[in-house]
Amino acid sequence: MSCASEEENDSKLSIWYYGEDKSILGKALLHLTAVEISLDVDADRDGVVEKNNPNKGTWKWGPKGHGAILLVNCDSEWRYAKTLDSEQNFISTDSDLKDMSLMVLRTKGPAKLPEGYKLTMHISQGDAESIRVFMKHYPMMLNSGVLTREVPYVGGSEEVHFYVEGRRFPDKDFNGLISINLSLLEPINQALPETPIFTDKVVFRVAPWIMTPNTLEPIEVFVCSTSDNKKFLQGMRNLVGGSGYKLKICHEYVNRGDRWMQDELEFGYVDAPHHHFPVVLDSPRDRELNNFPYNVLLGPDFGYVTRVPHRRDVSSMDSFGNLEVSPPVTVNGKEYPLGRIIIGVAFPTATKGRNMTKVVQDFLWAQTVQEPVALFSDWLVVGHVDEFMTFVPAPDRKGFRLLLTSPDAGYKLFRGLQRDGHGKAKLFDVLGKNLGIPKPFGPKVNGHCALEAEMCRLMDGLGLKCTFIDDFAAYHKLLGEVHCGSNVRRKAFEFKWWNVEM
Amino acid sequence: MSCASEEENDSKLSIWYYGEDKSILGKALLHLTAVEISLDVDADRDGVVEKNNPNKGTWKWGPKGHGAILLVNCDSEWRYAKTLDSEQNFISTDSDLKDMSLMVLRTKGPAKLPEGYKLTMHISQGDAESIRVFMKHYPMMLNSGVLTREVPYVGGSEEVHFYVEGRRFPDKDFNGLISINLSLLEPINQALPETPIFTDKVVFRVAPWIMTPNTLEPIEVFVCSTSDNKKFLQGMRNLVGGSGYKLKICHEYVNRGDRWMQDELEFGYVDAPHHHFPVVLDSPRDRELNNFPYNVLLGPDFGYVTRVPHRRDVSSMDSFGNLEVSPPVTVNGKEYPLGRIIIGVAFPTATKGRNMTKVVQDFLWAQTVQEPVALFSDWLVVGHVDEFMTFVPAPDRKGFRLLLTSPDAGYKLFRGLQRDGHGKAKLFDVLGKNLGIPKPFGPKVNGHCALEAEMCRLMDGLGLKCTFIDDFAAYHKLLGEVHCGSNVRRKAFEFKWWNVEM
């Protein structure tokens, strides 16, 4: 049959049986009903659910790849009395649907299926931990308690819309891939379940959590206001305002004196062809800023994710000043178009050492598109990678420079100035082409600070402007600097993570 | 240098510097100390730790493969007041060492290392969840809290023995592979950790838990004694005693009336070149026999493993009458020399259904050497695969037959006897060549039960002897049969799991 039936049994096949002498032995009439069924997703990643993509049942990385994408519904449609949308048992509001991936059941056939035939959607027990399937205005279709459910068949040429929600990020025990099946069942008899005579399958990958390096344009800068950091705040206001970005201040009744905005959270995002939004990774550090990511940041189209350590083995290494990301790099011919995550760790052969807690490291490795690099940072008192390195944008070469602190270079500078002195760590916050730098209070030469002059000379060649911020009393003396006391939410990469060649 | 030093700096290299006119500009004397270091394991799988196997740092499946093997130390050296050895923080007794894998540090060199140099052993944070390293009569070397520790250097030509203990079976988040590193560290200065100038690495795979099909020879048969099963016990005594195996009876003060010995536990084993022992998998079913596996079976060289469901979603499908294993098979050209695990599940497209709980299924899949097959068994009231299938040994073809219950064959038999009747499930327990079969109480023809006669006729062709056991009142009427009321511990496969081609 070349097309779907308009009515049940509307096609017929006559069969005549002949004897050897060509006499007619009997006749039979076969009644046929044809139904077109296709479970459709956005397998070509253009934001639109196409019809019956031949590759919808598999998933392939790269610009020539294919396979649909799912977001973890980790934001909250509500700003007050909120929970994560993925932890509610219903669709919060219609706006919640855009955080899910549209999946369309397209059918064409008679007004109803032949007696006893039906459609069911089904998922495996393993996948059911990671996704849910909704229909608008209906009870939940599929979840970890309901692996299979009958799907309404609408006669004629119709579409039924489903919404697929991710519930878990890729992690050590979940590679991010899930399948959804739709079967046409044929009745056998009362005592036995129906037999699937046709099954259509679609595959989704849950989008990873992605970090944003300093080369991406800032959107907002977050700092804490405390009773003793007026000078710092003023410096930040000048820098951020002058750069044209938003400054967001976390007031003391929220931060309770915990000024280390860098350490409590890391901004990132999730991205799918149909939708994307920022997602904050909440550190298990959990000092007084503990509730800021959930209570203040989580909201409509602002997601939240965290990992809870198995034991209370949280150290200074779990602060996210110890979690950074490089700009895009190529290593031994392998491209990392979204950069590589940088984690500070203990030296592997040292008998004592502090490490970032395992569940957070596992989470970071499992995202796969920004493969982490572990750097020895435990030699520092605080122990964070942001104490000795940062990336700044540059107009040439790879498009960035890695700035490394150098006590040796500082020492040489002082020697060159024929004065006594000592090395001092320089820490930066990068706001586009404007660097926010801890004011070094160096020796004055001709009325100008020699350290500031040297820093400006070095950065000027890269087209970067330096702003020196007085964080001495409120941050430096507490073993932190400008970077530790601020956090920047940046634009997402133009580059789509699913175009990474794996 | 061609051999290790006997004393520090016992080799010297003179260097003379010449000017262009061949005049001598200066002389230098380089003092050299050579130390041989090798961390050794049984990488060739012959039960002996060889010297510096070139393949010790990788792991490969198959008879031409290589790589050392580790057992989960899941037995208890104590019979009373016992805990799993792997949950104790010390070596229980010297006998506990044989459950671990010997790892030898072989060194050759001067009486002591040059000033400031030292050896350390180190593991990654991830691997530290799965293993521990011990030395005899010393505190624990490495565990999840101590990733690195200095290792004593013994001068001359010496061996230091370490004992490596597995703590976790392969599972969804653990592929079974772990690495142990040994480094020679060179001092830099007081403020910095020493630099590794040589690192040796060994790799272990944790042995999987392996099930034993009916074609392996029995060792012991376990049944419950209850107030109402005298006839059944007598039948089992005759069968087991006559077959030359041991019958072990779980008395009512332990079983508290729970007679379903098949359902509470599954016997299996772990195997390494140096050691092997049986391991019972305890079902999350947890009725009155709940404590039998831990309290009665666990002991010296008898291991125990269980999985705790995330939620209390335990159903009849979690009884291990629903967990069986086939004899060795070949499927589409792929060999399964240890057979394949069989799990009963819900029909995937049925809207209601019972499944074995996820943590147990995950565990079974993760063992990898007996890749599971999921069969639809939820159509039964009880829902166990052992209700409609079993394997019996056979002298020809694959060496076994799959016996399937057939109401149709039963119906035909009755029709053939020209009497009224109805199909009846037949369930077997296989004891070598002796089948223990629920007494069917069929119609008598010439003084003999026609069903027994037909069964004997069918099995006789395979060289199998049938013993019919009266389990009618005590088991059949409670929806179970001989198989459900018994459990057999069998010999391990001769075939070594590490010789599977993966």
Q: What is the pLDDT of residues A13-44, one digit of tens each?
A: 999 999 999 999 999 999 999 999 999 999 99
Beta pairing class for A373-376 and A341-345: parallel
- Residues from chain A that touch B193, judged by Cβ atoms under 8 A, are 347, 349-350, 379
For B334, the token pair is 């792929």
B456 among known catalytic residues: no
Distance CA B268, CA B302 (A): 10
Residue that has been written with the tokens 């099946």 in this structure? A181
> Is A196 touching B (CB cutoff 8 A)?
yes
Question: What is the residue type of B110?
Answer: P
Using an 8 Å Cβ cutoff, are A491 and A431 in contact? no
Task: State whether residue A147 sits within 8 Å of chain B by CB.
Answer: yes
With bands split at pLDDT 50, 70 and 90, how would you rate the model's confidence at B274?
very high
* Total-model pTM: 0.82
So what's the pLDDT on residue B424? Answer: 47
- Mind listing the pLDDT tens digit for each residue in B386-427? 999 999 999 899 999 999 988 888 888 878 875 554 444 455
Q: Least CB-CB distance to A348: which of B122, B353, B355?
A: B122
Q: For chain B, what are the domain ranges?
A: 1-34, 37-78+89-206, 210-499
For tokens 């026999």, name the residue. B289
Read off the pLDDT of residues B200-241 as tens digits, 9 standing for 90 and up: 999 999 999 999 999 999 999 999 999 999 999 999 999 998
Position of tokens 């796969």?
A368
pLDDT bin (cut points 50, 70, 90) of residue A424 is very low
**Band of residue B297 on the pLDDT scale cut at 50, 70, 90:** very high
pLDDT for position A136? 83
Report pLDDT for A90: 83
Task: Kindly state the average pLDDT of the residues A7-12.
Answer: 91
Tell me the average pLDDT across B431-449: 85
Q: CB A19: neighbour CB atoms within 10 A?
A: 9
- Let me know: does B221 contact B399? Beta carbons within 8 Å: no
Which residues of A are less than 8 Å from B361 in CB distance? 125
**Residue B222 C-alpha, separation from nearest chain A C-alpha, in angstroms:** 33
- Alpha-carbon torsion (B100, B106, B111, B114), positive or negative: negative
A418 confidence band (pLDDT: 50, 70, 90): low
Name the DSSP class of A130.
T
Contact between B300 and B77 under an 8 Å Cβ cutoff? The reply is yes
The verdict on a CB contact (< 8 Å) between B362 and A126 is yes
DSSP string, B170-233: -BTTB-SEEEEEEEEEE---TTSPPEEEEEEEEEEEEPPPEE--TTSPEEEEEEE--TT-HHHH
Question: How many angstroms separate the CA atoms of A325 and A370, rounded?
Answer: 8
- Tell me A193's DSSP state: P
Contact B147 A192 (CB under 8 A): no
How far apart are the C-alpha atoms of B286 and A71, rounded to whole Å?
Answer: 38
* C-beta separation of A57 from A203 below 8 A: yes
DSSP letters for A242-301: HHT-EEEEE-HHHHTT---HHHHEEEEEEEETTEEEEEEEEPTT-STTTTHIIIII-BTT
8 Å CB contact of B150 and A379: no
Pairwise CA distance, residues B224 & B260, whole Å: 8
Q: What does DSSP say about strands A444-445 and A448-449: parallel, antiparallel, or unpaired?
A: antiparallel
The residues near A22 (Cβ < 8 Å, ≥ 6 apart) are none
Burial class (CB within 10 angstroms; exposed 0-12, middle 13-18, buried 19+) of B405: middle
Flag whether residue B129 sits within 8 Å of chain A, measured between CB atoms.
yes
Would an 8 Å CB–CB cutoff place B332 in contact with chain A? no
Q: Give me the residue from B125, B173, B199 closest to A173, CB to CB.
A: B173
The Cα–Cα gap between B149 and B403 comes to 57
Reported as a single tens digit per residue, the pLDDT across A304-321 is 999 998 777 789 999 999
Question: CB neighbours (10 Å) of residue B104?
Answer: 16
Nearest CA-CA partner of A33 in A106, A112, A151: A112
Partner A contacted by B143 (CB < 8 A)? no
How many other CB atoms are found less than 10 A from the CB of residue A428?
A: 23
CB contacts of A126 in chain B (<8 Å) are 358, 362
- Residue B349 to residue A193, Cβ atoms within 8 A: yes
Q: What is the C-alpha radius of gyration for chain A, rounded to an integer number of angstroms?
A: 30
Q: Which of A126, A128, A203, A136 is nearest to A163 (CA)?
A: A136
Task: Return the DSSP state at B267.
Answer: E
Number of alpha helices (DSSP H) and beta strands (DSSP E) in chain B: 7, 30
Q: What is the mean pLDDT of residues B64-92?
A: 91
Phi-psi region of B465 (alpha: psi -120 to 50; beta: other; left: phi over 0): beta
Q: Does B362 touch chain A (CB under 8 A)?
A: yes
Residue of chain B nearest A145, judged by CA positions: B313
- What phi and psi, each to the nearest 5 degrees, are found at residue B410? -65, -45
Which CATH code, of 3.40.50.150, 3.75.10.10, 2.60.40.10, 3.40.50.2000, is assigned to A210-499?
A: 3.75.10.10
Give the CA distances from residue B142 to residues A416, B90, B207, in Å, rounded to whole numbers and listed in that order. 50, 12, 20
Decide if pLDDT at A493 tops 90: no
Q: Using the predicted structure, report yes or no on whether residue B191 has a pLDDT greater than 50.
A: yes
Q: Which chain B residue is nearest to residue A141, measuring alpha carbons?
A: B351
CA distance A262 to A475: 12
| Contact call for residues B187 and B117 (beta carbons, < 8 A) | yes
CATH annotation of A37-78+89-206: 2.60.40.1700
User: Cβ A358–B129 below 8 Å, yes or no?
Assistant: yes
B137: left (phi over 0), alpha (psi -120 to 50) or beta: left
Interface-testing mutation among A179, A349, A379, with chain B (most B C-beta atoms within 10 A): A349
What DSSP assignment string belongs to A9-23?
T-EEEEEEEE-TTS-
Residue B193 tokens read as: 């950790």
Which residues in chain B touch residue A197, judged by CB atoms under 8 angstroms apart? none
Nearest chain A CA: its distance from B192 CA (Å): 7
Percentage of residues of chain A with pLDDT beyond 90: 69
C-alpha to C-alpha distance for B56 and B42, rounded to whole angstroms: 8
Catalytic site residue from A74, A224, A250, A484: A484
